[in-house]
Homo-oligomer: A and B are copies of this chain.
């Protein structure tokens, strides 16, 4: 099982590796990949080790090899199709973002409790009413969801998602979701993050332990 920080780095490596491949580069040394992603070369090599990949001292790592292994880890059929709940300002921004930037992950369906907003297409994605949530998520075997509902609804909706089989939630509501231990939750609390940025901004320093 890879750690969260490792998975984050893998995702970043992949972006740069795709760039490199598009430019016709077939092999990379750890120090090159490191320079692009602001980690150390030793860290890159350690990550490769954790992945069970190896390179050669003469040519470094094979770009296509790495991309293939990363795709195997990050592009599981159950994780690339995600559901989005709540098509308010932020929800629509995310729909537009994923449409404009078609990566591996795709928002396959959206839900909204407002009858005015559901049963129509928004930013290229079909929006369904909330009462069809469980049925549709189960039918499509969706396991990953983005939660953009108001804070006071977040926990109730999260519970419904989990009941429908979702095991990974990206939560934009500023609340700790109370879900079982088998469900992975990442909460992006924008207010909290802006406070953190402000804290270091006024002190004119990077945080301790940053490169």
Give the segment of A24-32, A90-98, A131-139 that binds chain B: A90-98
Residues of B near A174 (CB, < 8 A) are 15
The distance in angstroms between the C-alpha atoms of A97 and B96, with both chains bound, is: 17
The distance in angstroms between the C-alpha atoms of A194 and B104, with both chains bound, is: 10
Indicate if the CB atoms of A199 and B90 lie closer than 8 Å. Answer: no
Indicate if the CB atoms of A92 and B94 lie closer than 8 Å. Answer: no
Indicate if the CB atoms of A3 and B209 lie closer than 8 Å. Answer: yes
Among B8, B198, B205, the residue within 8 A (CB) of A1 is B205
Indicate if the CB atoms of B97 and A167 lie closer than 8 Å. Answer: no
Q: Hey, what's the 0/1 contact readout for A41-79 against B, CB within 8 Å counting as 1?
A: 000000000000000000000000000000001101011
Q: Copy number in this complex?
A: 2
Q: Which residue of B is nearest A106, CB measured? A: B194
Indicate if the CB atoms of B82 and A198 lie closer than 8 Å. Answer: yes
* Chain B CB within 8 A of A103 CB: yes
Residues of B near A97 (CB, < 8 A) are 89-90, 190
Residues of B near A188 (CB, < 8 A) are 188, 193
Indicate if the CB atoms of A198 and B89 lie closer than 8 Å. Answer: no
Residues of B near A78 (CB, < 8 A) are 198, 201-202
* Chain B CB within 8 A of A115 CB: no
The distance in angstroms between the C-alpha atoms of A96 and B88, with both chains bound, is: 10
Indicate if the CB atoms of B104 and A96 lie closer than 8 Å. Answer: no
Considering only residues 169-208 of chain A, those with a C-beta below 8 Å from chain B are 169-170, 174, 176, 181-184, 186, 188-208
Residues of B near A90 (CB, < 8 A) are 93, 96-97
Supposing A90-B97, A97-B90 touch, asked if A144 and B201 sit within 8 A by C-beta, the answer is yes
The distance in angstroms between the C-alpha atoms of A143 and B194, with both chains bound, is: 12
Interface residues of A (CB under 8 A from B): 1-4, 7-8, 11-12, 15, 36-38, 73-74, 76, 78-80, 82, 88-90, 92-94, 96-97, 101, 103-105, 143-144, 146, 166-170, 174, 176, 181-184, 186, 188-209
